[in-house]
Amino acid sequence: MGIRIYRPTSNGRRNSSVNDYAELTVDRPQKSLCVRIKKAGGKNNQGVTTCRFRGGGARRIYRIIDFKRNKDDMVATVETVEYDPNRNCFISLVSYTDGEKRYILAPQGLTVGQKIESGQLVEPQVGNTMPLGSIPVGVEIHNIEMRAGQGGKLVRGAGLSARLMAREGEWATVILPSGEMRMLRVECRATIGTLSNPDYQNIRVGKAGRWRHQGRRPHVRGKAQNPVAHPMGGGEGRANGGRHPCSPTGVLAKGGKTRNPRKVSSRKIILRRKTNRGEQLVL
Q: How confident is the model at residue 1 (pLDDT cuts 50, 70, 90)?
A: low
Q: What is the pLDDT of residues 114-130, one digit of tens each?
A: 999 999 999 999 999 99
The answer to whether residues 141 and 164 touch, using CB atoms and an 8 Å cutoff, is yes
| The CATH number of domain 3-201, selected from 2.60.120.10, 2.40.50.140, 3.40.50.970, 2.60.40.1930 | 2.40.50.140
Question: pTM for this one?
Answer: 0.89
Which residues have CB under 8 Å from 54's CB, separation 6+? Answer: 41, 42, 215, 216, 217
Residues of the chain with pLDDT > 90, as a percent, come to 83
d(CA 251, CA 265): 21
- The Cα-based distances of 81 to 29, 136, 197, 262, 275 in angstroms read 10, 27, 11, 44, 33
Say which DSSP state 242 is in. Answer: S
Q: What is the pLDDT of residues 44-93, one digit of tens each?
A: 999 999 999 999 999 999 999 999 999 999 999 999 999 999 999 999 99
Radius of gyration of the chain (CA): 22
Q: What is the pLDDT of residue 76?
A: 97
Mean pLDDT of 84-105: 97
